[in-house]
Structures are given as structure tokens and as C-alpha cells.
Structure 1
């Protein structure tokens, strides 16, 4: 890409989406000896989706909480991401993502300055954005939420916190072979 855009800044980002909902995320926790930890479980199948963009070399992130995963919502996320990071003539973004159907759908509109690179099937170990979800889930684990709005409020606050945790995210997502 540097040869193709010699006067532009080139960055390699990674993208993935994560389904979250009213069905709780159950994790192991510490408890005093002789006591069982208790976590409420209410199996309700209502979902929201967290779209996560990460620049592993710096640990910078962009987050979007959206109601669905499909081509229409992915187009909106791509457009907003391009605006947030300033993609265009002077800044080119190579965005690495998995091969989900909506990432390559016919009605996909890729903004100027964004170039998509689809990973081979069944290769989540190559996707740095996959590692974001354990951090995003932290305040949601072992909790029941009454509504998606309540869950999204907690998730929004968590995304704001994660945007300030660049060094932690860089350590988690910047593989030794990832381009700088």
C-alpha cells in the first residue's frame, strides 16, 4: 500500500463484532472457602452488537454499539469509523476482518481511504480484534440486566474506559508479526 499511496499515511487496523445480550456471561469468580458464588441467570434472547476497531500498533480503538449485524449496519459502522480516524486521500487504512457475509455483501459501500482485507476462513487466531471481547465483557460478567438499554449504558461506559487503555490493548492485540 505504501507504493500505491506514497504520500499517504498507512495504518493497519483490525475489526470484529461481538454479540451481547440479556442472556448473561458467566465466568468463574473467587469466593470465600466453603461458600458457593451465586450468579443470576435469566435466559432471555435479546441481543445488541459491539463493533470493535483496533489499531494494534498503538492500542487505539473505535467502538460502536449497534442493534444488528448486516450489510446496512456494517456500512454505517465503516462510514463512522472512516470519519473518526480521518481516512481519505492522506490517510489510508487497511482493515483486516473475517469473512462474515455482511463484510463482503453486494451493497457494501467502502469509504474512500478504507481497504478491506478478508482473513481466511476459520482463522480467529489471526484476528487481533477477537481478543478485545474479554476486556469488553468485564463489567457484564455474572450480571443480569433487565433491558438492553441498561446493558448498553454499562457497555458504553466500558467502551469509554477501553479507549483510555491503549497500552493494555496494544499488549493484548499487537502480535509480533503484525505490521507497525
Structure 2
């Protein structure tokens, strides 16, 4: 997914715009806000499940991903690498309460692309037809509320600026990176194949995802069937 236009970002000033969740309480405020919005949606739609999801993007490319490893005393571990600046983007939508996740790989990010991605996610997740989804996300420029078309069944809650610690989807990237850690990947096509397979596998591992992203304060499903 993506395209040439995907490499163009919207106005960077839009990222600083405050949203419905921005307040003086910072990171702790978003916890209360998500719970409040879930409760509001549950009251408005008493016969429909309401679930809180989170979304984030991860840039991964041909620049090697390195991590520390164990090695015998006196020996220095070696990982082959070739620095190149070509990138893919992984977007995850995750329900911390259940571990359900949706994954998308693209060659760029932009506001039109994000709108298309929201429509695809809403369709695949059954938003509007089967459940209401409260979606928490950061204030990246391509997420900005101004003129953003939001599908029926989704309600966006923006986290305060500089609070990655309240974003459950942010914790998933260590899992995504595992197949390429300390390895040389020759081409972007090869990287896409590896990462796409990894994301497909993670989508079926709900317990692993819930164990990674299941923040203790995250609201449970309201109006469960």
C-alpha cells in the first residue's frame, strides 16, 4: 500500500494541534479520556459493543536493526550490515484488551493514505456494522483532525504530545523487528516479504499481543455480547 504520494507529509504544524484528549494532565489525562469516551459511546449505542483500539506507525528499512547479544568473554559479536536509507512503514491497529490486531505495510505515509487506511481498518474490523471502536492515536501531521474523513463506527481520541508511554501500539515494534535484528537484508523487496510474513503471524498470536500491549488501565469492552 502507499505510493509516490505516500512520501509527502501534511503540514508539520498540524502535528502540534491539540485535540479532544489534550489537557493539562498529560499522560494520566489520556487514561481518563479514553475511559470517558468508551463510556459515552456505550451510552449512545447500548446494544452495540464498544472497544478501545490504539494505532501507531513504525518505520523500518535497510539500515540495520541492531541489539545486544550474549557472547563469550573476550569476544565481540559481529553483525553484518550495509547502511542504506530506504524505508517501509508498518501500521498496527491493536485492541490491548483482547490482543486482536490488524497490520498494514506501506512505502510511505500521508493524510490521504491514512484516510484510506482508516476506511480499510473500519471495514475489516466491522466498525459501525458490528461494533463501535474508540481509536487512540498520536498527533502526527497525517493524523490531524482538520478535514480528516473518519468512517462511521470510529471515534478518534488523540493522546497529548510527547506521551509515547500511553500508546499501547508503540510497544509492538520490538516484536515486528525480531526477524531482521542483527541481519543484513539485501533489498526493500526482501524486507517487505519478511515483515509482511511477520505481521501476518503476529495477527494470529493474540495472547502474545495482549501480553505486550495490554496496559492494566486500558478500558474493557463495553456492552459485550
Question: What TM-score do the two structures reach when normalised by structure 1?
Answer: 0.95
Structure 2: segments with no counterpart, 5+ residues = 1-40, 221-225
Tell me how large the CA RMSD over aligned residues is: 1.3
Report the structure, 1 or 2, having the larger helix content: 2
Measured after TM superposition, the shift of residue 8 of structure 1 is 1.5
Corresponding residue pairs, total: 180
Could you say which structure has the greater relative contact order, defined with CA pairs below 8 angstroms and 6 or more residues apart?
A: 2
Q: Provide the TM-score with structure 2 as the length reference.
A: 0.77
Contact in 2 for aligned 1:95/1:117 (Cα 8 Å): yes
1:2 aligned partner = 42
For the pair 1:153 / 2:193, whether they are aligned, the reply is yes
* Distance across 1 between alignment mates of 2:147 and 2:184: 37
Shift of 1:73: 1.5
Most deviating of 29-38 and 12-21: 29-38
Larger % of strand: which?
1
Q: Name the residue aligned to 1:21.
A: 61
Aligned residue runs from structure 1 range 65-84, under 5 A: 65-84=105-124
- The 2-side partners of 1:2 and 1:164 are apart by 28
Q: Deviations over 1:94-138 (max 9, x none)?
A: 000001111115442211111110000010111000000011111
User: What's the counterpart of residue 35 of structure 1?
Assistant: 75
Among candidates 52, 58, 61, match of residue 101 of structure 2: 61
Query: Does structure 2 conserve the Cα–Cα contact (< 8 Å) formed by 1:66 and 1:73?
Result: no
Residue 135 of structure 1 is matched in structure 2 by 175
1:79 shift after superposition: 1.2
Deviation for aligned residue 1:31: 2.3
- Structure 1's 151 and 92: CA in aligned 2 closer, same or farther, altered over 3 A? same
